[in-house]
Structure 1
Amino acid sequence: MPDQPHSHDPVPGVVIDLERQTLDWFGANGDHQRWPVSTALNGPGEADSSGCTPRGRHYVRALIGQGQPEGTVFVARRPTGETWTPELSRQQPQRDWILSRIIWLCGLEKGFNRGGDVDTFRRYIYIHGTPDTEPMGKPLSHGCIRMRNRDVINLFDRLEPGMPVTIRPCP
């Protein structure tokens, strides 16, 4: 019989810290990994069209991009057939790049980050890859949680639908 987790072991899942601009993954066996992220330029918030990163308890609703090459460009959660390059970026400087993998989040707190005009899932809030030219550790996104491409692939491979994601600080 496998060892049971100790009561002090964190629950497997993800914790995103908006103040520190970090994402921590906790595995079932006490494994832990931390990566830098970039969250919303507009700060924390749950309202639709706010451009803010929602706070609170969420879960992984969908994992998109399994097996796609690093740098794959996604539009409307579908690969476009493009791979991000600096030249492609120069040709389309206003594009908000969603690359490599998409981890689509869904809120768990009715009236706060689920339902109505505060619904994380309907706001299309993802953890996703971004060009390596974009800084990490600094809020610059339109609401999503951006990661380096290699980091988001590494995280993606450790997740499954339903895993908890907490975005702090929680009110």
Structure 2
Amino acid sequence: MPLDHIHISIGDQQLTGFSGGAAVCRYPISSALNGPGEQNGSGCTPRGAHRVRARIGDGEPLNAVYRARRPTGEVWTPALAAANPQRDWILTRILWLCGNQPGVNRGGQVDSQRRYIYLHGTGDDQPMGVPLSHGCIRLRNTDMLELFERTPVGCTVQIDAD
């Protein structure tokens, strides 16, 4: 059953997916270490009404590694992570967000799309329920795969601080 809405609670570090008004899935997440905020370059997770602009990675393997929204051909492993400790791992799938509120999360210095804000998988060594990202919403790779399969382009996404 496809989702028509996703709600992300930064305070609870949880994502809830809705279909026809009913909650049908829940996943723990990791939002920005720097907290909520919309400014370009802040490293914060933007709040407000968004929508899924693009779905990236259909058909790629679990733990596929991305750079600039393109698969690198690598598959994340603990050994690859240990050899590249500086990398911010974007894995498995990407749901790229676009802000729906001009002046809040769309346009100028607050544009979520231009900030490359995604929902994406992360390394298995990263904790969920703890804000650690650079602005994106991180999920476990298996959760990201499930979410991706249920989420169409255009699905609304509400990100709240509480």
**1:27 CA drift (Å):** 1.4
Identity fraction in percent: 56
**1:31 CA drift (Å):** 5.0
Question: After the TM superposition, which residues 66-81 of structure 1 pair with which residues of structure 2 at under 5 Å, given as runs?
Answer: 66-81=58-73
2: CA distance between counterparts of 1:169 and 1:143? 13
2: CA distance between counterparts of 1:165 and 1:29? 13
2: CA distance between counterparts of 1:153 and 1:62? 15
Give the equivalent residue in structure 1 for 2:24: 32
**1:169 CA drift (Å):** 2.8
**1:29 CA drift (Å):** 7.2
1: CA distance between counterparts of 2:120 and 2:161? 20
Residue type at the aligned position of 1:128: H
Give the equivalent residue in structure 1 for 2:121: 129
Give the equivalent residue in structure 1 for 2:40: 48
Residue type at the aligned position of 2:72: T
Which stretches of structure 1, 4 residues or longer, exceed 2 Å deviation after superposition? 28-31
**1:12 CA drift (Å):** 2.6
Give the equivalent residue in structure 2 for 1:58: 50
1: CA distance between counterparts of 2:114 and 2:37? 14
The Cα offsets for residues 15-71 of structure 1, whole Å up to 9 and x where unpaired, read as 000000000001137351110000000000000000000000000000000011000
Unaligned runs of 5+ in 1: 1-10
Contact 2:37 / 2:47 at 8 angstroms: preserved in 1? yes
The Cα offsets for residues 88-133 of structure 1, whole Å up to 9 and x where unpaired, read as 1111001000000000000000001000000000000000000111
Give the equivalent residue in structure 2 for 1:99: 91
TM-score normalised by L of structure 2: 0.96
2:137 paired with 1:145: yes
Residue type at the aligned position of 1:38: S
Unaligned runs of 5+ in 2: none
Contact 2:16 / 2:23 at 8 angstroms: preserved in 1? no
TM-score normalised by L of structure 1: 0.91
